[in-house]
Amino acid sequence: MLWFGAAVVLVAALPWLISTAYWRGILVLCAMNVLLALALNLVMGYTGQLNLGQSAFFAIGAYVSTILIKTYHWNFWLAGFAAIVAAGFLGLALAAFAVRLRGHYLAIASLGFAVITYQVLVNWESVTEGVRGIYGILPPVRGSVALFYLLAAIALLVYFAMENLVRSPVGDTLRAIREDEVSASALGVNGALWKAFAFGVGAAIAGLAGCFYPGFVGTLVPDAFNIVESFTMLAMVIVGGMGTMIGPVIGAVVLTFLPELLRGFGELRLMIYGIALTLVVLFLPGGIASCFRRAR
């Protein structure tokens, strides 16, 4: 528990170490990305399912909560709970088809789900306002510092809960499916059931992150949830260290702050960013987290 206390102290100090409004906003975005990376890591890192549709669940959480608040005047927390349930339910619906697929077939199917979701957001204008977007969205708390503390507290709780989950027999079951589903099935493991569980929980956590996104930016448009976002989440998990708990957190922090730190390089920014990601993948196949394991 010592590390958990140290993490709480560090998170509490960050907004006061970073005093500018812009960088405090990046802190909020970073906390959101940590949730998204943890959610995807449960599906990819522990169950071995290549899911490229995570941006869809992020979008579902954002749109369901916003529509309930703006159109039906629901309380934020009640709307957020409904959005998490909706995202988790759709994750289970996707899993009903996805559990029969593996590898690149699953990747294509989940990518197709993300494309369908994006097209629904664009074309169902009577509900989502399409490309016109929804404006004037207020955050659940006032000020970027308060929003960061709220999101960081939720991220820490999710991390703590997921770490206990993966250390339990459930985590052993998910890893068994990842390593060899046929052998796990021979030992009595219901692979379809547990893969659906991972998809549902991962989708619900992504929906939870989505509830806070509209209030953070103040607007909601479909372009915020295009396919590129799914690949960004994938990069966070791989660069940080797939199949570990701390890896996705490191990946989310690095890939949130690195593009901002490179803005001073102008047009060279994306090239440097791409080279950095390539070097990590080439020389650290286990992600940045593998450096800590080697040092220990």
Domain holding 19, by residue range, is 2-225
In a domain, 199, yes or no: yes
In a domain, 261, yes or no: no
Residues 290, 296: Cα–Cα separation, whole Å: 10
192: exposed, middle or buried (Cβ count in 10 Å: 0-12, 13-18, 19+): middle
In a domain, 270, yes or no: no
Conformational region of residue 105, where left means phi above 0, alpha means psi within -120 to 50, and beta covers everything else: alpha
- Determine if the pTM surpasses 0.85: yes
In a domain, 254, yes or no: no
CB 37 within 8 A of CB 248: yes
pLDDT at residue 1, rounded to an integer: 62
pLDDT at residue 11, rounded to an integer: 86
Residues 237, 72: Cα–Cα separation, whole Å: 36
Residues 39, 45: Cα–Cα separation, whole Å: 10
Structural domain count of the chain: 1
* Bridge partner list, 220: 134
* Bridge partner list, 134: 220
In a domain, 237, yes or no: no
Residues of the chain scoring pLDDT < 70: 1
In a domain, 244, yes or no: no
In a domain, 255, yes or no: no
What residue has token string 């159109």?
A: 71
Residues 125, 29: Cα–Cα separation, whole Å: 27
| Predicted confidence (pLDDT) per residue in 277-295, tens digit | 888 878 888 888 888 777 7
Structure token digits, residue 30 = 């970073």
In a domain, 34, yes or no: yes
